[in-house]
Amino acid sequence: MDKFPAILPPFLILFFSFSLSLSDGYFTGNSSHPGLTSQADSLCAQLIEPNGYSCAEYIVQTKDGYLLALQRVSSRSGDIRVQQGRPVLLQHGLFMAGDAWFLDSTEQSLGFILADQGFDVWVGNVRGTRWSHGHTSLSETEKEFWEWSWQELALYDLAEMLNYINSVTSSKIFIVGHSQGTIMSLAALTQPDIAEMVEAAALLCPISYLDHVSAPLVLRMVAVHLDQMVLGLGLHQLNFRSDVLVNLVDSLCDGHVDCTDFLSSVTGQNCCFNKTRMDFYLEYEPHPSSVKNLRHLFQMIRQGTFSRYDYGILKNLLMYGQFKPPAFDLNSIPKSLPLWMSYGGNDALADVTDVQHTLEELTSNPELLYLENYGHIDFLLSINANRDVYDHMIGFFSQLCTA
């Protein structure tokens, strides 16, 4: 894979960390699917199997025609075809993909840790990412390919992945989400047909509201309407490996925001992120997303809502039959559905005030883990996350397995 363009400040990508199956069996990557052109180009082959873990890949088709990759991982001593543990779906954040759960050592990466603990690990990859580029009729060079936001990721991508896992395992599923993965999870769980497939959810940096984001560079992006600027350039795909976007975002810092500590300017201060592995991370991140997705996130910041995409009054009437987009009602998440959430005092994206807003709207009382010194990236890439975060999460799941 090409290295990330040098002009981009190195921590930019970390801000954005903010079923009908086409293959009913073991998928090795030898397919015409454009996102997985060869076995050597698959996530299994690049990050999981070299560490001694069995890994199978499947393709799932969404209702609107996107082709998603699902990886299934077992422990180094397990047989992937006779998995006995409870299925867990790992759902990544914005501008990331399933590789995010395997970027550190086997003792530090949550995907490996869960497999070693005996869970049946499934790894989600949403539309537009490197592992899931593809559609039944659209090319990714077409505008229509990128006509989606996290709304579709929740109601189509996540829903179809859960449906496929449920059909294979005949079991309800644990969900683990980080950042945008929690937005998707919370939105999806307001839908009864999706919630009934889920045993419990563990949310890292939980987000349903974003109106208290405090990261200086993020606020500047919103203030200058970066989303509209990119659309004005005729772009519909957000690919931060392109020189156009690299230069555009780099200019936002120049004379406007102190980006000396770039990571802090976009995520909050992270206590335990391993900066020495940045070159390795940049071999895999960032993945593309859509301009519409960014616009939807900016709507959340500007309007203080957790709602479907806002098209404006006239198109809202056409799409939804009302002037404003319908809200995702957190009260609709079943009270009986166990939730576990972990959040940090230094997270400038999943702000503590917004997390509290989420908690107030839920009918249940989630189990909480608050870490004062953790920032947004620590929950995924901290050198101490296995002890600080994942042990608690696994304890939460294990209690439910034995109940």
Q: Output the CA torsion 99→104→106→111 (10° steps).
A: -30
- The CA distance from 109 to 56, in Å, is 18
Residue 283 banded pLDDT, cuts 50, 70, 90: confident
**Tens digit of each residue's pLDDT (9 = 90 or more) over 22-35:** 333 333 333 333 33
Residue 62 has pLDDT above 80, yes or no: yes
Q: Which residue is catalytic, options 120, 227, 347, 351?
A: 347
Residue 24 a catalytic site member: no
Residue 8 has pLDDT above 50, yes or no: no
Q: Spell out the domains of the chain, with CATH numbers in brackets.
A: 38-402 (3.40.50.1820)
On average, the pLDDT of the chain sits at: 87
Q: Which residue is catalytic, options 179, 208, 290, 307?
A: 179
Q: Which residue is catalytic, options 109, 178, 376, 388?
A: 376
| DSSP string across 10-60 | TTHHHHTT--EES-SS-B-S-SS-TT--SGGGSHIIIIIGGGT--EEEEEE
Residue 139 a catalytic site member: no
Contacts of 161 (CB under 8 A, 6+ apart): 19, 60, 68, 70, 89, 122, 124
Residue 42 a catalytic site member: no
> Are 86 and 199 a contacting pair, CB within 8 Å?
yes
Tokens (6 digits) for 66: 């996107």
Tokens (6 digits) for 384: 């101490």
Residue 37 has pLDDT above 80, yes or no: no
Residue 83 has pLDDT above 70, yes or no: no
